[in-house]
Amino acid sequence: MRKIKSIIATLLTFILMLSLTGCGEIKKAETAVNGMFAAFKSLNFEEAQKYVNVEDITKAGNEANENSMLIMETVFGNLSYEIISSEKVDNNNVVVKTKVTATDMKPVMGEFLTKALEYAFSNAFSSPQPTEEETNKKMEEILVECASKPELATVTNEVDIKVVKTESKEWKIEADDTFVNALLGGLADAAKEMENAFNTEE
């Protein structure tokens, strides 16, 4: 009987150790997610780089317009999140299911596109034609107008954030397209729609 009790105690200890190890990895992954969101909310991209490749995030803004800082300020002005659950895939991978709320960029960029096209059409037959510098300045003015309105609408998406342990034992977020689009309030989709619209006009 003592031997059986000893075996059971050993098994329970082993199971407990595995459970604690799993919890530790999940906690570290969630810490990375928390750190990333805190950094983006404060527009501290240097800090955010510790948790995610920032270029993977900001390039979506660059596709929409060169004035990426204004885009980021608009998107992250209403940024909030809620971790719903976390699941350990293996020792190096954790999936953190998260509800992400950000400024809804589709209507912002939709209004920008409408006004940009109106400007283009109104100057299509003007003489002389606006210079590239004048056009870029006007586009920036239109973007500021659209992105600086008070009480912009928000959009909430539920996404699986993949967090991976690197070779240096750090936990970093893998920014896939679905996560980036949710984080940026649909900006990636809006950028593609704008690109398609301009290509159609051409």
Q: Which CATH number does the domain housing residue 104 bear? A: 3.10.450.100
The count of C-alpha atoms lying within 13 angstroms of the C-alpha of 39, restricted to the half-sphere facing its C-beta, is 18
Cα-based torsion angle of the residue sequence 144, 60, 176, 171 in order, rounded to the nearest 10 degrees: -70
Containing domain of residue 67, as a range?
2-201
Separation CA 83–CA 64 (nearest Å): 29
Give, in order, the Cα–Cα distances in Å from 14 to each of 1, 19, 24, 91, 92: 20, 9, 15, 16, 20
Domain count, the chain: 1
Q: What integer pLDDT is reported at residue 79 of this predicted model?
A: 93
Compute the mean pLDDT over every residue in the chain, rounded to the nearest whole number: 81
pLDDT digits (tens, 9 = 90+) for 142-174: 888 888 888 889 999 999 999 999 888 899 999
pLDDT confidence tier of residue 14, bands split at 50, 70 and 90:
very low
- Looking at residue 184, its amino acid is L
Q: Which two tokens stand for residue 85?
A: 């659950």
Better-scored residue on pLDDT, 6 or 133: 133
| β-strand pairing of 171-174 with 154-165 | antiparallel
Rounded Cα–Cα distance for residues 192 and 69 (Å): 19
Residue whose structure tokens are 């954790």: 94
Q: DSSP assignment, residue 1?
A: -
